[in-house]
């Protein structure tokens, strides 16, 4: 993926930065347990106040869980860009953060069930995980189309490698539905995640 522009900037000593976002749509009755892993990583990140080492550790756990549940992978998509300016890369990270945060649309259960109604939460059969990272250098496994089972697996493994190599500059994880009891419907998946490509 080295273009003439990339080679020129490498000669001038500027750092190559890649910003990419990965979407994975899980479908099936067994996707709900993943919410526990995602929410725990989110709580740890909040307590650590954005510490990159803590975020990286959480990302490894998330990637491992996503790989363990690949039976339920239904669709995927990815996007990104290459920068030689830290400010431009940061701007895209912020834009993707705002966009991902706006995709939480899901149906909430009724606030107060009747007193004689047994407590039960709806189970969502859909879960969409959005992972955004910025990293230094190159990674051919992330700088390619990931709407393929093998490519997606390699992409998730590459994310864990980037953590271990200390090359990540930013990590964001969003997911919908955001908590147990929320339900992401088929129509909402189509509306909120039109870029998804069936695997």
Q: Over the chain, what is the mean pLDDT?
A: 84
Residue-range domain boundaries for the chain:
16-106+123-198
Would you say how long the chain is, in residues? 199
pLDDT tops 50 at residue 44: yes
Report pLDDT for 75.
97
Angle between helices 52-68 and 33-47 (to 10 degrees): 170
* d(C-alpha 155, C-alpha 65), whole Å: 14
For residues 133 and 40, the model is more confident at 133
* d(C-alpha 123, C-alpha 150), whole Å: 29
For residues 172 and 107, the model is more confident at 172
Q: What is the pTM of this model?
A: 0.85
What angle is formed at CA 127 by the lines to CA 117 and CA 168, rounded to 5 degrees? Answer: 135
Q: What's the Cα-to-Cα distance from 191 to each of 106, 157, 194, rounded to whole Å? A: 11, 29, 6
* d(C-alpha 177, C-alpha 77), whole Å: 18
Question: Quick one: tokens of 161?
Answer: 């490698």
């Amino acid at each position: 993926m080295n273009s003439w522009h990339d080679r020129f900037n490498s000669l001038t000593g500027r750092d190559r930065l890649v910003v990419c976002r990965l979407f994975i749509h899980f479908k099936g009755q067994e996707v709900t347990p993943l919410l526990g892993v995602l929410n725990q990583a989110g709580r740890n990140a909040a307590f650590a106040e954005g510490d990159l080492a803590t975020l990286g550790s959480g990302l490894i756990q998330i990637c491992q869980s996503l790989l363990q549940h690949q039976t339920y992978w239904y669709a995927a998509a990815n996007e990104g860009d290459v920068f030689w300016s830290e400010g431009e890369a940061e701007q895209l990270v912020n834009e993707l953060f705002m966009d991902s945060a706006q995709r939480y649309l899901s149906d909430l259960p009724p606030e107060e069930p009747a007193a004689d109604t047994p407590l039960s939460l709806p189970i969502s059969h859909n879960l969409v995980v959005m992972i955004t990272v910025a990293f230094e250098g190159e990674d051919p496994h992330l700088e390619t189309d990931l709407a393929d089972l093998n490519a997606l697996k390699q992409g998730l493994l590459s994310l864990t490698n980037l953590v271990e190599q200390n090359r990540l500059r930013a990590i964001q994880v969003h997911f919908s539905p955001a908590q147990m009891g929320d339900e992401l419907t088929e129509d909402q998946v189509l509306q909120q995640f039109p870029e998804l490509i069936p695997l």
